[in-house]
Amino acid sequence: MQILIFIPARGGSKGIPGKNLVELNGKPLIQYTLETAQELMGNTKYEWVPFISTDDEEIASFCESRGFEMEYKRPKELATDKSPMIDAIEDALKWLEQKKNLTLDAVLLLQPTSPLRKGVDTINALKQVENEEYFSIVSVTRMREHPYECIETNENGWSFLSKPDHKTAGRQDYNDNFFFIDGSFYFASVGFLIKNKTFLIEDNTQFHILNQLWPIDIDDQEDLAVAELFLS
Superfamily of structural domain 2-142+178-231: Spore Coat Polysaccharide Biosynthesis Protein SpsA; Chain A (3.90.550.10)
| Confidence (pLDDT) at 173 | 54
Write out pLDDT tens, residues 4-36. Answer: 999 999 987 777 889 999 999 999 999 999 999
Quick one: which of 110, 16, 17, 30 has its CA closest to 62?
Answer: 30
Which residue from 19, 1, 22 is spatially nearest to 9, judged by alpha carbons?
19
8-state DSSP, 19: G
To 5 degrees, how large is the angle CA 134–CA 180–CA 17?
A: 100
Portions of the chain given CATH number 3.90.550.10: 2-142+178-231
CA–CA separation, 31 vs 113, rounded Å? 11
The amino acid that residue 14 corresponds to is: K
Contact of 5 with 49, CB cutoff 8 Å: yes
123-152 tens-digit pLDDT: 999 898 988 999 999 999 887 777 777 888
